[in-house]
Amino acid sequence: MSKPWHEARVEGDAAPFAITLDGKPVRTPGKRPLTAPTRALAEVVAGEWRAQGDKVDPKTMPMTRYMNSVLDTVADHRDGVVAQVSAYGASDLLCYRSAHPEILVGRQAAAWDNVLTWVAKKKDAPMVVTTGIIAVEQPEASLVSLREAVADHDDAALAALHDLTAFSGSLILALAVSDGHLTAEEAWAASRVDEDWQIEQWGEDDLATAAAEDKHAAFMDAARLLELSRQ
């Protein structure tokens, strides 16, 4: 059995670019026309539709899922999403260090110190670093600067930044990817310093490994959305 349309196309000469099936607009779950802010992103979304068989599998359509979310959720609740993402700055992964063993302390410093220096200079957001898990209060001016950096993203980039932050546990790493200070793979590796140390000490757990692989794939999808939304 063949799929119930013949052609998926990108329509329009300027943003927003619409995706159509046999000339009819694709609609989001919220019944809005499915569009994308750049032609590059729209072409990838259309390609996901072309790749479908007789039954649509949303799991194979990450950019389509993202644009559904952007159009149906982020656009209507932008301030809330900005607040949710910005909140990670108050308890950012990079600010909480181990006191021992020395090798882990060194790995955290090697992976995180440079990014903290970058965010202090580039975003005017110096952060306080502590050891242990007791919450440390960050400078209010730094949190304001981080929120402004988050708010500077358009809706599609904001959706990507949300997931880069959530999957890494670090708004600072997500902003470093957004600004091109780190590649997505570098940021992912930095977010995994503690977990990789634990694996070295105690060995791998199959369920934890599978979950980490899923998170990594989702993190890379978010990075791809960010890149495509700017092309």
> In this predicted structure, what is the pLDDT of residue 54?
86
Give yes or no for a cis peptide into 101 (omega within 30° of 0). Answer: yes
What architecture does CATH give domain 78-228?
Answer: Orthogonal Bundle (1.10)
| Residues of the chain scoring pLDDT < 70 | 1-2
The answer to whether 34 touches 19, Cβ cutoff 8 Å, is yes
24 phi and psi angles, rounded to 5 deg: -100, 135
Q: Which CATH superfamily is domain 8-74 in?
A: ATP12-like (3.30.2180.10)
Q: Output the pLDDT for position 2.
A: 62
Q: Would you state the pLDDT for residue 65? A: 98
Assess whether the region 8-74 and the region 78-228 belong to the same CATH fold: no
> Can you tell me the distance from the alpha carbon of 94 to that of 113, in angstroms, rounded to the nearest whole number?
8
- How is residue 70 annotated by DSSP? I
> H or E segment at 176?
helix 171-178
Distance in angstroms (rounded) separating the CA atoms of residues 71 and 137: 35
Domain ranges within the chain, ordered by starting residue? 8-74, 78-228
d(CA 13, CA 5): 23
Question: CA–CA separation, 15 vs 216, rounded Å?
Answer: 30
pLDDT of residue 3: 74
Is residue 44 within 8 Å of residue 60, measured between CB atoms?
no
Rounded Cα distance between 116 and 94, Å, is: 8
Residues sharing a CB contact under 8 Å with residue 121, sequence separation 6 or more, in sequence order: none
User: Strand ranges (DSSP E) for 113-171?
Assistant: 130-131
Q: For residue 79, what pLDDT is reported?
A: 98
The model's pLDDT over 119-177, given as tens digits with 9 standing for 90+, comes to: 999 999 999 999 988 889 999 999 999 999 999 999 999 999 999 999 999 999 999 99
Neighbouring CB atoms inside 10 A of 57's CB total: 10
Burial class (CB within 10 angstroms; exposed 0-12, middle 13-18, buried 19+) of 137: exposed
